[in-house]
C-alpha cells in the first residue's frame, strides 16, 4: 500500500512539475550613461514582461538591472512631434548644428528594478546565482544594451564588449565567461544579446572564451543580433513601439506568435513538432527582421572554427563553398530549408548555382554602397552607434569645411541671433522664455530668409538619401544572411568528415541546447 501511495505521489510531482528543473531569468540593459540610455532599451524590458507571460514563464524568478537602477531621469526619449517642435528642431540645426534638441530625459518607469546595470551588480548576481542554481536548472540571460568591438583582434580574437552603467571601458566577452563559469556546469544557460558586435559572445563555448583552448564544460548556448565585426540595429530614443526593429523584437515575435504591438504573426514551427524552439525563432528573425543585423549563434561559431569546405583529396560528400543548391537543401534541417528558400525568394535568386549568384549580387550591392559612401556615411552609421557615441551625435550637421550649406547655416544663424542673441548662448535663462513667447515671430522671420527653404529641404533630402542608402544595405544584409545560413549548412554537413569526434559531439550538444524552447507549456 505504501508503495502505491509513494508511486502516486511521484506521478503527481512529475505531472505538476515539482520535480522539474527550475527556470531563472535575468535582464541587464540600458546605456552606460544618459547620453546613450535610449528608451527603446527600456521598452525591450517591458516587452519581455509580456513575452514571459505569453510563454508561461512569468512566475519564474526574473531580475531586472537597468541603467542607473531607476533613480534619476536618465532614460533618453524624443519630444512629441508637432509643428512647434519641428521649428525648434530646425533652430537646433541652425544655431548649434545638432539634431539633439528634440531629446528629453525621463525616469525608468518600473518598480521592480533590482539595481543598476553595473559591473559590480553583474558580478554579484552571478556570485549569488552560483549558490542558488542547481544542476539541470535553466538560466536565461537577456542583454538589451550597447556593445563595442574587439580592441585587439590580433591577440584577442572576437573578444568584443558590452557596456555597463557608469563605464565606457566595455565589459569583455572573456570577463563575462568568468561570471558564467561560476555556475554549475550542468545549469543550462541561454544567452539572448542584442548589442553591437554581440557575435563575439558566441565564444562562451570555449574555456576562458578562447577559441584556441578546449570546449567549455558548461551547458551554454546563445543567440546574438549580429556577427562580431558589425554594429547592430535597434537603439533609438523614439517613443513609439511601432518604430522598434531589432533582433529581440523579431526573436520574441516568433516565440510568442504575435508582434510587439500584439498583432498575430505566422507560426514559426518550421519542423511541425508543436512548439517554437530558439532555433526556429532565430530562423524567423533572419526572414522577418528588416534591419542591418546578420544574426549569429553559438553553433555557427563552432562550425566556422572546426569545420571547413571541400579541398582536393576529400571524399565526394564533403561540400564545397559553392555547393549546388540541391545538395545544400538535402543537408539542411527543416528550419534551415525554410530560411534558405524564403531568403532566396525574397532576393529573387533561383537555380542550382544560386550561392554563386548570391556572391555576385552581394558584390554589386557592396559596390553601390561604396559609391554612395563617397558622398556620405553608410546607413549603418546613421542608424547604429557604439555605446561611447551618444544619440546627440550631429549626424545631420553641416561641417564648416565639408559642405557648402555650412555657409547657409551660418548666415541663418547670424540673422536669428541679430534679433534674439540670447538663443545662441547655451543655458541662457531667457532662451526658453523667448521660444515660449516669440516662437511664431521667430518662425515667420526664418521664412523670410533667402536660405531658409533651401536649408530645410536639404535636411529632408538627406534624410531621404539616408533611407535609400539604408535600403541598399538591408538588401546586402539579406544576401549575407543567405550566404551565412548556407555556410552553416555546408559546414555542418562536412563537420563529421573533416573534424575530430570531440568537435562533432560538442556540436551535437550545442544544437540540442539551441533547440530548446522557452515556453514552459512545451
Residue 393, pLDDT above cutoff 90 = no
Range of the domain at 109: 23-79+103-306+500-514
Would 482 be classed as within a structural domain? no
Residue 390, pLDDT above cutoff 90 = no
Would 155 be classed as within a structural domain? yes
pLDDT band at 403 (very low <50, low <70, confident <90, very high): low
Question: What pLDDT score does 60 carry?
Answer: 94
Question: What pLDDT score does 407 carry?
Answer: 86
Residue 401, pLDDT above cutoff 60 = no
Strands of the sheet with 23-30, listed across from one edge: 113-115, 62-66, 23-30, 138-145, 188-193, 220-224, 296-297
- The total domain count for the chain is 1
Of 80-84, 125-129, 439-443, the poorest mean pLDDT is in: 80-84
Q: Is the distance from CB of 76 to CB of 39 less than 8 angstroms? A: yes
Give the mean pLDDT of 155-183.
93
Please state, in angstroms and rounded to a whole number, the distance separating the CA atoms of residues 159 and 170: 11
Q: Which residue has the higher pLDDT, 520 or 430?
A: 430
Q: Is the distance from CB of 461 to CB of 304 less than 8 angstroms? A: no
Question: What pLDDT score does 154 carry?
Answer: 64
- Which positions ≥6 away from 23 have C-beta within 8 Å? 57, 60, 61, 137, 138, 139, 140, 520
Burial class of 427 by CB neighbour count within 10 A (0 to 12, 13 to 18, 19+): exposed
Residue 112, pLDDT above cutoff 80 = yes
Residue 294, pLDDT above cutoff 90 = yes
Would 141 be classed as within a structural domain? yes
Tens digit of each residue's pLDDT (9 = 90 or more) over 300-336: 999 999 999 999 988 889 999 999 999 999 999 999 9
Residue 347, pLDDT above cutoff 50 = yes
Please state, in angstroms and rounded to a whole number, the distance separating the CA atoms of residues 522 and 520: 5
Would 178 be classed as within a structural domain? yes
Residue 43, pLDDT above cutoff 90 = yes
Please state, in angstroms and rounded to a whole number, the distance separating the CA atoms of residues 492 and 312: 19
Residue 451, pLDDT above cutoff 50 = yes
C-alpha cell of 407?
Answer: 555657409
Would 121 be classed as within a structural domain? yes
Tens digit of each residue's pLDDT (9 = 90 or more) over 48-59: 999 999 999 999
Question: What pLDDT score does 466 carry?
Answer: 76
Half-sphere exposure of 156 (CA within 13 A, CB side): 15
Strands 113-115 and 161-162: unpaired
How many percent of the chain have pLDDT more than 90? 75
Strands of the sheet with 161-162, listed across from one edge: 147-148, 161-162, 171-172
How many percent of the chain have pLDDT more than 70? 88
Question: What pLDDT score does 394 carry?
Answer: 34
Question: What pLDDT score does 463 carry?
Answer: 76
Residue 386, pLDDT above cutoff 80 = no
Residue 23, pLDDT above cutoff 90 = yes
Give the mean pLDDT of 192-221.
97
Tens digit of each residue's pLDDT (9 = 90 or more) over 210-258: 999 999 999 999 999 999 999 998 787 675 666 778 999 999 999 999 9
Question: What pLDDT score does 382 carry?
Answer: 35
Give the mean pLDDT of 377-389.
35
Please state, in angstroms and rounded to a whole number, the distance separating the CA atoms of residues 475 and 465: 16
Question: What pLDDT score does 240 carry?
Answer: 66
Please state, in angstroms and rounded to a whole number, the distance separating the CA atoms of residues 148 and 157: 14
Please state, in angstroms and rounded to a whole number, the distance separating the CA atoms of residues 467 and 149: 25
Give the mean pLDDT of 200-212.
96
DSSP string, 392-461: T--TT---TTT-THHHHHHHHHHHHHHH-GGGGSTT-HHHHHHHHHHHHHHHHHHHTSTTHHHHHHHHHH
Residue 5, pLDDT above cutoff 60 = no
Give the mean pLDDT of 451-466.
83
Would 55 be classed as within a structural domain? yes
Please state, in angstroms and rounded to a whole number, the distance separating the CA atoms of residues 506 and 99: 50
Q: Which residue has the higher pLDDT, 430 or 279?
A: 279
pLDDT band at 13 (very low <50, low <70, confident <90, very high): very low
Question: What pLDDT score does 365 carry?
Answer: 95
Using CA atoms, how far residue 442 sits from 86, 292, 408, 421, in Å, is 13, 40, 17, 12
Residue 484, pLDDT above cutoff 50 = yes
Would 459 be classed as within a structural domain? no
CATH code for position 45 = 3.40.50.1460
Output the average pLDDT for the chain: 88
Would 327 be classed as within a structural domain? no
> How many angstroms separate the first and last alpha carbons of the chain?
34
DSSP letter assigned to residue 240: -
Amino acid at each position: 500500500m505504501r508503495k502505491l501511495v509513494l508511486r502516486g505521489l511521484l506521478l503527481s510531482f512529475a505531472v505538476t512539475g515539482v520535480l522539474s528543473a527550475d527556470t531563472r531569468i535575468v535582464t541587464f540593459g540600458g546605456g552606460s550613461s544618459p547620453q546613450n540610455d535610449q528608451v527603446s532599451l527600456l521598452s525591450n524590458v517591458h516587452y519581455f514582461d509580456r513575452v514571459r507571460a505569453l510563454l508561461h514563464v512569468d512566475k519564474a524568478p526574473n531580475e531586472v538591472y537597468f541603467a542607473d537602477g531607476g533613480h534619476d531621469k536618465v532614460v533618453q526619449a524624443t519630444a512629441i512631434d508637432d509643428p512647434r517642435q519641428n521649428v525648434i528642431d530646425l533652430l537646433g540645426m541652425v544655431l548649434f548644428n545638432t539634431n539633439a534638441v528634440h531629446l528629453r530625459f525621463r525616469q525608468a518607469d518600473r518598480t521592480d528594478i533590482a539595481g543598476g546595470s553595473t559591473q559590480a551588480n553583474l558580478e554579484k548576481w552571478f556570485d549569488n546565482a552560483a549558490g542558488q542554481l542547481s544542476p539541470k536548472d535553466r538560466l536565461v540571460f537577456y542583454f538589451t544594451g550597447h556593445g563595442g568591438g574587439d580592441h585587439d583582434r590580433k591577440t584577442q580574437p572576437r573578444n568584443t564588449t558590452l557596456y555597463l552603467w557608469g563605464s565606457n571601458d566595455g565589459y569583455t566577452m572573456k570577463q563575462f565567461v568568468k561570471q558564467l563559469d561560476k555556475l554549475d556546469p550542468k545549469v543550462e544557460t541561454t544567452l539572448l544579446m542584442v548589442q553591437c558586435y554581440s557575435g563575439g559572445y558566441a565564444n562562451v563555448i570555449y574555456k576562458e572564451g578562447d577559441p584556441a583552448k578546449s570546449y567549455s564544460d558548461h551547458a551554454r548556448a546563445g543567440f546574438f543580433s549580429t556577427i562580431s565585426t558589425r554594429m547592430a540595429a535597434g537603439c533609438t530614443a523614439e517613443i513609439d513601439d511601432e518604430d522598434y526593429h531589432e533582433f529581440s523584437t523579431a526573436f520574441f515575435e516568433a516565440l510568442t506568435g504575435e508582434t510587439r504591438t500584439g498583432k498575430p504573426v505566422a507560426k514559426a514551427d518550421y519542423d511541425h513538432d508543436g512548439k517554437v524552439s530558439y532555433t526556429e525563432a532565430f530562423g524567423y528573425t533572419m526572414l522577418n527582421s528588416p534591419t542591418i543585423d546578420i544574426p549569429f549563434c553559438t553553433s555557427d561559431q563552432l562550425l566556422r572554427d572546426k569545420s571547413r569546405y571541400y579541398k582536393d583529396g576529400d571524399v565526394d560528400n564533403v561540400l564545397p563553398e559553392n555547393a549546388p543548391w540541391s545538395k545544400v537543401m538535402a543537408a539542411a534541417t527543416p528550419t534551415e530549408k525554410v530560411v534558405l528558400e524564403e531568403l532566396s525568394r525574397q532576393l529573387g535568386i533561383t537555380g542550382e548555382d544560386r550561392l554563386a549568384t548570391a556572391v555576385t549580387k552581394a558584390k554589386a550591392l557592396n559596390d553601390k554602397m561604396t559609391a554612395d559612401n563617397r558622398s556620405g556615411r553608410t546607413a549603418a552609421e546613421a542608424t547604429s552607434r557604439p555605446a561611447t557615441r551618444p544619440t546627440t551625435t550631429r549626424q545631420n550637421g553641416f561641417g564648416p569645411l565639408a559642405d557648402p550649406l555650412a555657409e547657409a547655416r551660418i548666415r541663418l544663424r547670424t540673422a536669428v541671433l541679430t534679433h534674439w542673441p540670447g538663443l545662441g548662448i547655451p543655458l541662457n535663462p531667457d532662451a526658453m522664455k523667448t521660444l515660449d513667447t516669440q516662437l511664431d515671430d521667430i518662425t515667420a522671420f526664418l521664412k523670410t530668409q533667402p536660405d531658409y527653404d533651401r536649408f530645410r529641404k536639404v535636411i529632408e533630402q538627406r534624410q531621404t538619401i539616408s533611407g535609400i542608402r539604408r535600403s541598399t544595405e538591408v538588401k546586402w544584409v539579406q544576401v549575407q544572411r543567405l550566404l551565412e545560413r548556407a555556410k552553416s549548412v555546408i559546414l555542418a554537413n562536412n563537420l563529421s568528415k573533416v573534424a575530430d569526434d570531440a568537435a562533432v559531439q560538442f556540436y551535437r550538444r550545442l544544437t540540442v541546447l539551441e533547440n530548446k524552447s522557452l515556453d514552459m507549456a512545451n
